Structure formats: structure tokens, C-alpha cells
Amino acid sequence: MLPTVAEALSRLLAVHLPLPAEEAPLEEAVDRILAEPLRAPRPLPHFDRAAMDGYAVRAAETAAAGPGRPVRLRVAALARAGHPAERALGPGEAARIFTGAALPPGADAVVRQEQAAVDGEGFLRLERPVEPGANVDPSGCEAPAGRLLLPAGTRLGPAELALAASLGLTRLPVRRRPRVAILSTGAELVEPGRPLAPGQIYSSNRFALAAMAREWGALAESAGTVDDEPEAIARAVRARIGEVDLLVTSGGASVGDYDCVAAALERLGATTLFHGVALKPGTPVLAARLGEALLLGLPGTPGAAYTTFRVLAVPLLQSWLGAEEEGGAGAGSWTGVLEAPPRRASERLEQYVAVALRWEEGRLRARPLRRGHATSLLAWLGAGALARIPPGPLPAAGSPVELLPLHPAGLAAAARLAESLAAEEEA
């Protein structure tokens, strides 16, 4: 009996622990995975600061102010961002202050500029009192010292890098990127740009697979194209397997006369983890361990190759990167609503269908794409996720469905949008 997707993933994920950490300059850390928790080294902000332009005062000295009985405070200092007041406020004094500037010692509130007037003698005239802490961002209001700011497993984007820079950091500990090589098999494959002979097609899978690997955090490169012959495949694998963490083959994974990947791996003495998984498309997918690396043999049909890479390889890469840790931005799933029933490939196998996504009335809606055959390139144009269809009867339109996002950026955007919609509903 073929292993389920969950069983196949369990066998893959048991092979490797997360990759070691390394340090990356902030300029090179975008889309990397944080290897260690980031905590506030000091209160944020680390001083009391003005939340708007106005005048810094002692709140207690304004308590008697009212219409027709103004309180007069001498403007004795100036504070602006990066240039604190040169001295503390004395009794009966105020300081001109601008947004982001540190409050002078002795001040505990800011009078908004619109509510203030300075007479010709340089005195601030107030006809209403101000409460302590008014228009002030106190030290530690964003985060006290030691607070967890980013958990390990966080994917680093612009906001996260800006936060690190605001803490004075120039480098961050990140997971080493997994090294992935893509090997295409098939005598019919020709590199784009070259003329086609009768019966030949252009090699395209490795471009998509390498792009998917890079999107999900790996360093990916081509290992070339070889004929459907066991010894040729074995030589190509042997030449690259010691340089990578994961070698992906495209084509030749089934059991036909010219499906030679399994035979090549047998010659190399690889340990097979599985050959065949109960899913559609991509049932013949195989996995093996060879030395310190893994080899994933994918079908050559484009949609089947992309499906099996997203379903099996992406969670593996994310696990190595530590992106599945608590709070991390791993390759998790969403829940959506089917807009139409998908086509059924098999009632016995778990099925994955390319779907387009949209938000409507606070719900993620998934529309199966029906361009061309389910395993063709056209079926993937405009896809934002794969819908997981369990074995058994087809779900009807309007049914809930599990969705695997195809792009990590789409995951973050969808999560932010979902949070925004939830906040609007609460309001």
C-alpha cells in the first residue's frame, strides 16, 4: 500500500535536523529565516519622548489653568529629535519641543502646539490644564527590556529588518540556506533557445522548480539534463550529491521501461524512503537518502512535478530552515471556501488542485483552474495555492477546503489581510 502524504512527509522530515546558523548583514538578510529569538536589549523607546510638536511642561503647574485665568510658564529651552534640551526644566518653565525629541528632565507632559500660545515676553500661556503623560511616549511603551520581539523561525522582511536596525544591530543570526540542485532527465528535452528536432520539447521544469526552491529559502541551481539511462543518471547524481542537501530529479520516476531514476539510485546504493505516494497528480514520486543528502525524484509532467515539490519538498526545506518553529512563517496551510467543485482524478487518492484565490466578505475563496489538463503548465497560470481534496466524494461548491500557499509572500499578505478584516469586524 502506498504511503499517504502525511506518512511520506514524516519519513522525509525524520532525516535532517535544522541547518546550522550563520550571521547575515541586514542588507542581505531579507527573506532569510531567523535562527534565534530577538529580544529587546533595552526599553523601546529608551527615553520619554514627545508624541507631537508642542511644549514640554510639568503637568502639576498647569492644574490651575482655566478660561480667563491663564497659567504663564517661561519658555526656557528647546528640544528636537536628536538634540535634547541642554538643561532640566526649573519651576515655572516650559520647553519648546518637537515630535520624537526626548523630554527634558523635570517635564512629564506635552501641551499640543494647537493649544498653546506664547506672548511677546516669551511666556507660554495656558488656559486649560494638561494631564501627566499627555502627548508623551514613555520609555518602554513599545516594549520593555527583554521582551520577545521576533521568535526564531520568523521570515525576515522589511519591517523586521528595520526593527533590527532600530536596535543598533548590523547582522542577524539566520539559518544557512539549503543547497538544492535540479536534474532533468529525458532524451526529448532541449534547452530553451536551441532548435527542436522532431519529437523534442523544451526543458522547463527545472526553471519552475529552482524558482520554487528559491522562493522558499533555498539556494538552487541546475544540475543539467541527462538521457533516460540508469548509468548516465547515476553519474550525474554522483557528481553533485556531495555538494547539496537536496538533489531533485524531474522525470523518470515511474516504473516504465525508460523511467530509470530508481534503477540509478539502486546502483548508487541509496536508501529508498518511499517510491510512490497516495496523491494525484504525482503518484510515482520517490525519495531516497544518499550519504548526507536527500534525493527527491519527481515526475516529469509539469503540474505533477510542481505539485509534488510543493507538497513534499517545501515542508522539508522549511523544516531545515526552522521556519516551522512556534511563531515562525513556515509552509503551513490556510482554510478557504471552494467556489466550484474540482475535477476528480481518483476517489482513492489525496488530490491537489491548483486554485486562484480572492477575498470576499472576509473569506478566502478558491476557484479551481481548469486551463488545459490538470498536470499541464496552463493549469498553473494564476494559481495562488493548491487545494487539498481528501479521498472520497468530491466536495461541493461552498465547502471548506485546506489550501497550501504557493508563495511565501502570498502567505504573509493573506495573513495581514485576515488580521485587518478581523480587526474591522471587532470594531
CATH number at residue 214: 3.40.980.10
- Give the DSSP letter of residue 366: E
Three cell numbers, residue 338: 471552494
Q: What is the pLDDT of residue 327?
A: 40
Where does a domain end: 156, 175, 194? 175
DSSP 4-66: PHHHHHHHHHTT-PPPPEEEEEGGG-TT-BB-S-EE-SS-BSSS-EESSSEEEE-GGGGTT-B
CATH number at residue 411: 2.40.340.10
Q: What is the pLDDT of residue 343?
A: 80
Q: Is residue 199 part of a domain?
A: yes
Q: Do 235 and 339 have their domain in common? A: no
Q: Is residue 258 part of a domain?
A: yes
Q: What is the pLDDT of residue 191?
A: 85
CA-wise closest residue to 285 among 329, 249, 232: 249
Q: Do 27 and 165 have their domain in common? A: yes
The pTM (predicted TM-score) of the whole model is: 0.80
CA-wise closest residue to 311 among 289, 336, 285: 285
CA–CA separation, 114 vs 37, rounded Å? 43
Q: Do 281 and 387 have their domain in common? A: no
Q: What backbone phi and psi angles, to 5 degrees, belong to 16? A: -125, 145
pLDDT values of the chain reduced to their tens digit, one per residue, 427 residues: 899 999 999 999 998 777 899 999 999 999 899 999 999 999 999 999 999 999 999 999 999 999 989 999 999 999 999 999 999 999 999 999 999 999 999 999 999 999 888 998 999 999 999 999 999 999 999 999 999 999 998 989 999 999 999 999 999 999 999 999 999 988 888 888 899 989 988 888 889 999 999 999 999 998 888 888 889 899 999 999 889 999 999 987 766 655 688 889 989 999 999 999 999 999 999 999 998 899 999 998 888 999 999 999 999 999 999 875 444 445 678 889 999 988 876 778 999 999 988 888 888 899 998 755 555 677 777 888 999 999 988 899 999 999 999 988 665 554 444 454 445 555 5
Domain count, the chain: 4
Three cell numbers, residue 200: 523534442
Q: Do 38 and 95 have their domain in common? A: no
Q: What is the pLDDT of residue 17?
A: 73
Q: Do 29 and 169 have their domain in common? A: yes
Q: Is residue 399 part of a domain?
A: yes
Q: Do 232 and 260 have their domain in common? A: yes
Q: Do 96 and 154 have their domain in common? A: no
SS3 labels along 370-413: CCCCCCCCHHHCCCCEEEEECCCCCCCCCCEEEEEECCHHHHHH
Q: Do 234 and 112 have their domain in common? A: no
Report, in angstroms and rounded to the nearest whole number, the Rg of the chain calculated over CA atoms: 30
Q: What backbone phi and psi angles, to 5 degrees, belong to 138? A: -70, 155
User: How far from 130 is each of 59, 117, 191, 249, 313, CA to CA, in Å?
Assistant: 6, 14, 74, 70, 60
CA-wise closest residue to 233 among 218, 256, 253: 253
Q: Is residue 328 part of a domain?
A: no
Q: Is residue 33 part of a domain?
A: yes
Q: What is the pLDDT of residue 211?
A: 93
Where does a domain end: 116, 149, 175? 175
Three cell numbers, residue 14: 525524520
Structural domain for 58, as ranges: 49-137
Q: Do 282 and 196 have their domain in common? A: yes
Percent helix, percent strand, percent coil in the chain, to nearest 5: 25, 30, 45
CA–CA separation, 417 vs 407, rounded Å? 15
Cα of 312 vs its chain's centroid, Å:
18
Q: Do 183 and 312 have their domain in common? A: yes
Contact (CB, 8 A) for 374 and 345? yes
